[in-house]
Amino acid sequence: MATDMRNPLIKGKSQDVEDISLENLDDLLAQLSQAELEELNGDFDPDNSLLPPSQRQRDQTDKEPTGPFNKKHLLEFLEKQAKEEKDWDTKPFTKETRGKVFVPKEVEEEKLRLGADEDGVETEWDDILQQASEEELVDLAAVLGFHSMLTQVQYHASLQDEAISNHGGFKAAAKAEALKIIPNEPPNPTDVEETLEKLKNNDSKLVNVNLNNIKNISLERLIELSEALATNSHLKVLHMANTGFTDKAAKVLAQSLEQNKTLRVLNLESNYITGDNILALVQAINNNKTVVELRVANQKPSILGNRVEMAISKAIAENDNILRFGIFFEFPDARIRVHEKLKANNDLLRKERLGKAKGT
């Protein structure tokens, strides 16, 4: 507090600041009256950011309280005051445009003409170029080397015609390549209920089941399909991509794969299977030893994690029968390990085929 202790408001003997000890400061303040203390306390610097806000402004809390706090009386007072207060004068809305209205400048379009000289004066080439056909313009651009002015179809057509023609001329393509409209694929006509009954009855004619893109299969039906594989001995190919296959059904399928001995191809792409259950499926086909192709890519939880990826790669390394494995690995270590194992399995299969061929 930058206050000079020689202030005439202080009673007693005048002393220099350096001669006053801090022990006597309380005694000096005790000799001041209330008005003198307030005037002394009013010496503050509102712009001093080093002081807290409470010390940069005057104390305005010296008003005596009107009584104890009563929430009910306060609400009644506010409601009464709101009802008695006159409404504010409102001005009806009128659309007003203030300031200058923006008017865009009229820009004259510059007409670029082929054959005009630097000053923009038309030459005799303008009429010739305007009367030229599209084929003639394409031939001229190709001869001059302006290949950027040609479409891709026109460029390749000019190269092909140049190679075929004996005199090396160009024959332009008058039109661009027509757009090929590819029709949508028809819906999957497979009857889920009929297929399920055949799987349960172990129908010998049912060796290939394709349920891809059938999205109205209930979870109960998916679980029943998975359970039916445990006792089925004829099914070889099962496609269930984009069918809403979840972890609950995947756990049942992993248990059934350990008992199944005929399934060779399993496709579960574009579903909702997490990494731990993908690992369970891989471990199940290790015990199965008949599945040669497993596809589980493009699942909803796209990130498997390093722990799961390394565990899957370790399980694949122990499988000597799998030939194709569809999955996305984030870490290169797991991806390289799986790639090397699949390559070794395919090489072993090729050598076995060559050995049998030589033996026959």
Q: Has residue 5 got a pLDDT over 50?
A: no
pLDDT of 12 reads 45
Residue located via tokens 């297929």: 195
What is the rounded CA–CA span in Å between residue 351 and residue 345? 10
Q: Are 113 and 126 in contact (CB under 8 A)?
A: yes
CA dist 140 to 45, 89, 112, 169, Å? 84, 77, 18, 11
Q: What is the pLDDT of residue 37?
A: 76
- As a whole number, mean pLDDT of residues 90-118 equals 67
* CA angle (241, 348, 258) in 5-degree steps: 45
**What pLDDT is attached to residue 182?**
85
Q: Which range (32-41, 111-120, 212-221) has the least confidence?
A: 111-120
Q: What is the 3-state secondary structure (H, E, C) of 163-232?
A: HHCCCCCCCCCCCCCCCCCCCCCCCCCCCHHHHHHHHHCCCCCCCEEECCCCCCCCHHHHHHHHHHCCCC
Count of CB atoms situated within 10 Å of the CB of 44 = 14
The answer to whether 241 and 267 are in contact (CB under 8 A) is yes
Rounded Cα distance, 293 and 326, in Å? 8
The share of the chain scoring above pLDDT 90, in percent, equals 45
pLDDT per residue over 283-336, tens digit each?
999 998 899 999 999 998 888 999 999 999 999 999 999 999 999 999 999 999
Q: What angle do CA 7, 10, 11 make, to 5 degrees?
A: 135
Q: What is the pLDDT of residues 116-165, one digit of tens each?
A: 455 555 566 777 777 777 677 777 776 776 666 666 666 666 566 544 44
What does the alpha-carbon distance between residue 92 and residue 328 come to, in Å, rounded to a whole number? Answer: 65
pTM, 2 dp:
0.52
Q: Which domains does the chain have, with CATH numbers?
A: 17-50 (no CATH), 131-173 (no CATH), 192-359 (3.80.10.10)
* Radius of gyration, alpha carbons of the chain: 45
Taking the CB of residue 166, how many other CB atoms lie within 10 A of it?
Answer: 5
Is the pLDDT at 72 greater than 70, yes or no? yes
Q: What is the C-alpha separation between 67 and 86, in angstroms, rounded?
A: 29
At residue 122, the pLDDT reads 59
